[in-house]
Amino acid sequence: MAVLGTVLNSVYRGGIRVTGLPAAAAAAARSSVAGGVAVAHAAGSAPLLHAVGVAYVHGMDVMLWVCTAIALASAVLGLVFLPRSAPAATAGAAGTGAAGMGPAATSAVTAGQQGGPVPAGGAPDGSRDSARAE
């Protein structure tokens, strides 16, 4: 953020034209946009107010191009240095079953793979669990 503010302020200061103003008023107008607006209002100078606005808009334009460059550089760095995909889970790791789901899930997955999907609350063959009261 500080870099962007510095860019904006540098472009503003370089772009403001304060010819014909006393040194103190010129310094105040160059110091900031608020200072430039205050000097323009105090002097009753519409051309100075317009010059302050033009210098500010030009500073914003340059600052936004700098933001664009930073965003593009960040995207390129992300594409170059970040991994393309997450590492695959290993089966049977640390006492767990298939893909880290645990031993109970392993038997259900194995049963479902042998005879199709396991119906909710039932066995792979479609029968109900005999231990369950209906």
pLDDT for residue 123: 58
For 89-114, what is each residue's pLDDT tens digit? 665 555 555 555 555 555 555 555 55
For 76-93, what is each residue's pLDDT tens digit? 999 999 988 877 766 555
Residue 75 CA, distance from chain mean position: 10
**CA dist., res. 114 & res. 100, Å (int):** 20
130 domain residue, yes or no: no
pLDDT for residue 115: 57
pLDDT for residue 62: 97
Supply the pTM of this predicted model.
Answer: 0.59
- How many domains are there within the chain? 1
53 domain residue, yes or no: yes
* 56: containing domain: 2-81
Residue 37 has pLDDT above 60, yes or no: yes
25 domain residue, yes or no: yes
In sequence order, which residues have a C-beta less than 8 Å from that of residue 133 and are 6 or more positions away? none
Cα dihedral 113, 116, 122, 125, rounded to 10, equals: -100
Average pLDDT over the chain reads 80
119 domain residue, yes or no: no
pLDDT for residue 82: 92
38 domain residue, yes or no: yes
